[in-house]
Amino acid sequence: MISVISSFAILAIAALITLILKNNRNKGILAISAICTAAVFTSITAVLALTGQSFQYQFYAGAFLGNVRLCMDGLSAWFSLIISLVFSLGAFYGWGYMQHYLDKKNDIGMHIFAYLMAYLSMQALCVLQHSLAFLLAWEIMALSSFVLIIFESWKADVIKAGINFFIQSHVSVVLLTIGFLMMSAQSGSFDFNSFASLSAKQANTAYVLLFLGFAVKAGLLPFHTWLPHAHPAAPAHISGVMSGVIIKIGIFGMLRMLSFAPIHYEGVGYLVLTLAAISGLYGIMQAIVQKNIKKLLAYSSIENIGIICMGIGLGLIGVGSGQSLLTYLGFAAALLHTLNHALFKSSLFFLAGNVYHATHSLNMEQMGGLGKKMPWTCLFFLLGSVAICALPPMNGFVSEFMLYNGLFRWMQEASLTGAVGASFAILALVLIGGLAIICFTKVFGITFLGTARSEMHEVKEMPKIRLVPIAISLVLMLCIGLCPWLFNSAMQAALANLPQVDSSIHSVGQEHLAMLSLVCICFLSLVIILYLLRNKVQSKQNIRQSETWGCGYTAATPKIQYTGASYVKTYSDTLDGLIGFEKQSDIPTESYPQQAGEVRSESFDQLEHKAIEKPLRGYQWLMSHFLFLQNGKLQFYMLYGIIFILITIILTFIIH
């Protein structure tokens, strides 16, 4: 644990120095150096923990906290490595992304400070075994994330998104605080180990509160509403880190609870699986109709959090029903998809940042033809889309196939109720996969193919420093897709901290992943062979290039291309009741079609509109009737104080 504590010290010292330094470039170099050094130190302990070792350290943190215990076990190590990887890649990408702001002489010291503190707090959350210290680190993470989101604070939408995130983050803090206090009151200690002594009846209520608190951070439905606002507002490297690991700390919390909170596993598993399936479906359904690329990716994160939680729900059902293979497949799919999503979603957000810097827009309806001007960004986005759609040979296929396998095995061995539940879960996963393909063929086709839909000057590929972190992620994604068995031992070490995971299942898991590896390798080999055969056949033919036949129409313009809205029109018309649309037109009805004009459509989140925006408007309407009380006259405010004191005295006498 000495290396982990050393990494904390390095990050804290570097964060403080960035507030003192005046040169932005020196701040950036210091931050990258500190993050890479801390990542190496932390990863040494994490890798050793994944080989079966466990590291603990205890220190006295004053009268308020008392003895605080740190522990790097398999579960902590798995998430710690993911956090280190994504934060390191984000730092390198962010260095290139922020050059634009460096040239404008903006002070980015607070941004760098917050980035370092976010990394420090998340690494601390992985190893802390003390509930109060855990809450303090959670609060530091929330505050630093808020500062990162509102970097462009001169924009009203950014401030609004930041405040939305800040409020919902503290809803999470309140829920976690109540849950931990309930457990500590019943166990007599704030240490996680003491919570294991509680009975399932004592732990269930606290578990529900803790689960809800972690679900807010993870963005699980119906606590998802901060994600679609925060992601488009934040810089691209922050969006990548936020989707890659910050929402995953909610997943870590859910899994960590299982190591110390005895609960009714099967009942909770059904609940989590149902909520996760709905969340996954709702997320991808909303993603399809978005025009803003980063907002689309944000809703896709909600979908993938749903897939991860489906694995957790399946694992819980396996624990409750005593099926060790089901437990392994569910939890292993959740862990592996957490890693997979961290890689491909952070890469896609980085690529969206490339598109934004090249076009100064995130609205895909204004784009088109970027593939010719940004070939590497186009290729990398295509590979990321293949991964997120769970197509072989990329990594998303492996984790989702494991989840499919677990659901089918559950359906074969379960009772009638379980078989029905498994059938609905499989159907939900099938629909999520199909809708994901629609979503990402849309965003890729509209953005990178065709011709430009608006004037774009000097669109060009980004510098290599912006592409290297993405290339590293893609190599890892392909490695997981082709050789998933390499990660089985590490997953087994992480699973050892979860309830009733049979260590003897290791060989079965190895065989399962080896089979998936063979499938992906065969698929990739087939694609390569077909490509080489095609080239060989075409090499013997004369290829003539000419304009595409336009069906006799010779006045083609970019406006007659598919738009994002027209691409998914059949889908959006079918689900009009579930997905909100607002249409505006400036074409007078009586003059159409003689007079030109525009028709605009915008989608909105129906759940957010009905559950949050409408109640807030009602509350504002109610409070507006009491504005006369705030009249600015001192004598009235003194009168209010006197009335309050009199009421307090009267109520005191009545009560006694």
**Per-residue exposure over 273-299, b if at least 16 CB sit within 10 Å of its own CB, e if not:** bbbbbebbbbbbbbbbbbbbbbbbbbb
The three-state secondary structure class of 387 is helix
pLDDT band at 584 (very low <50, low <70, confident <90, very high): low
Question: 87 and 39 in contact (C-beta within 8 Å)?
Answer: yes
Residue 80: what pLDDT? 92
Q: What is the average per-residue pLDDT within 164-177? A: 91
* Terminal alpha carbon distance of the chain: 57
What's the CA gap between 289 and 219, in Å, rounded? 19
Percent of the chain with pLDDT over 90: 29
Residue 594 has pLDDT above 70, yes or no: no
Closest CA to 498 of 343, 337, 329: 329
pLDDT tens digit string along 497-520? 777 666 666 666 677 778 888 888
Q: What is the average per-residue pLDDT within 526-551? A: 79
pLDDT tens digit string along 283-312? 999 889 888 899 999 999 999 999 999 999
Query: Look-up: residue for tokens 């409070």?
Result: 623
Residue 597 has pLDDT above 70, yes or no: no
Residue 90: what pLDDT? 92
* Phi, psi for 269 (deg, rounded to 5): -60, -45
pLDDT band at 263 (very low <50, low <70, confident <90, very high): confident
Residue 638: what pLDDT? 83
Q: Is the pTM of this model over 0.75?
A: yes
Closest CA to 404 of 301, 342, 333: 333
Residue 146: what pLDDT? 92
The per-residue pLDDT of the chain, averaged, comes to 84
Residue 367: what pLDDT? 86
Residue 379 has pLDDT above 90, yes or no: yes
As a 3-state breakdown, the chain gives helix, strand, coil percent values, each rounded to 5, of 75, 5, 20
| 3-state SS record for 504-537 | HHHHHHHHHHHHHHHHHHHHHHHHHHHHHHHHHH
Higher-confidence residue of 120 and 567: namely: 120
What's the CA gap between 253 and 246, in Å, rounded? 11
Residue 23: what pLDDT? 79
Cis bond upstream, residue 558 (ω within 30)? no
Crossing angle for the helix pair 506-539 and 464-482, to the nearest 10 degrees: 120
- The two tokens of residue 522 are 């065969």
Residue 488: what pLDDT? 82
Closest CA to 296 of 656, 628, 603: 603
What's the CA gap between 382 and 363, in Å, rounded? 18
- The two tokens of residue 244 are 């890659």
Residue 451: what pLDDT? 80
Question: 310 and 280 in contact (C-beta within 8 Å)?
Answer: yes
Q: What is the average per-residue pLDDT within 385-409? A: 89
The three-state secondary structure class of 600 is strand
pLDDT tens digit string along 314-364? 988 988 888 888 888 889 899 999 999 999 999 999 999 999 888 888 888
Query: Look-up: residue for tokens 């940004």?
Result: 374
pLDDT band at 555 (very low <50, low <70, confident <90, very high): low
Question: 135 and 180 in contact (C-beta within 8 Å)?
Answer: yes
What's the CA gap between 542 and 570, in Å, rounded? 40
Higher-confidence residue of 208 and 340: namely: 340
Dihedral (Cα; 211, 213, 216, 218), 10-degree rounding:
-60
Residue 564: what pLDDT? 73
* Phi, psi for 69 (deg, rounded to 5): -105, 135
Q: Where are the beta strands (DSSP E) in 557-613?
A: 580-585, 599-604
pLDDT tens digit string along 228-248? 888 888 898 999 999 889 999
Closest CA to 423 of 410, 442, 436, 438: 410
Residue 192: what pLDDT? 84
- The two tokens of residue 450 are 């065709």
Residue 619 has pLDDT above 90, yes or no: no
pLDDT tens digit string along 440-491? 999 999 899 888 877 777 788 888 888 999 999 999 999 998 888 888 888 8
Residue 506: what pLDDT? 62
What's the CA gap between 407 and 556, in Å, rounded? 50
Question: 244 and 86 in contact (C-beta within 8 Å)?
Answer: yes
The three-state secondary structure class of 216 is helix
32 contact partners, CB below 8 Å, separation of at least 6: 91, 92, 95
pLDDT tens digit string along 621-645? 787 777 777 777 777 778 888 888 8
Residue 576: what pLDDT? 73
Residue 617: what pLDDT? 81
CA-based radius of gyration for the chain: 27
Write out the H or E segment, with its range, that includes residue 60: strand 55-60
What's the CA gap between 159 and 149, in Å, rounded? 9
Least confident of 3-7, 93-97, 400-404, 622-626: 622-626
Q: What is the average per-residue pLDDT within 12-33? A: 86
Question: 495 and 72 in contact (C-beta within 8 Å)?
Answer: no
The three-state secondary structure class of 562 is coil
pLDDT band at 281 (very low <50, low <70, confident <90, very high): very high
Higher-confidence residue of 562 and 6: namely: 6
Q: Quickly list H helices, 188-241.
A: 192-195, 200-218, 227-233, 236-241
Question: 558 and 452 in contact (C-beta within 8 Å)?
Answer: yes
Residue 419 has pLDDT above 70, yes or no: yes
- The two tokens of residue 128 are 């802390």
Q: What is the average per-residue pLDDT within 116-131? A: 91
If one counts every other C-beta atom within 10 angstroms of the C-beta of residue 620, the result is 9
Question: 94 and 115 in contact (C-beta within 8 Å)?
Answer: yes
Closest CA to 384 of 429, 428, 335, 340: 340
Q: Where are the beta strands (DSSP E) in 254-404?
A: none
Percent of the chain with pLDDT over 70: 91
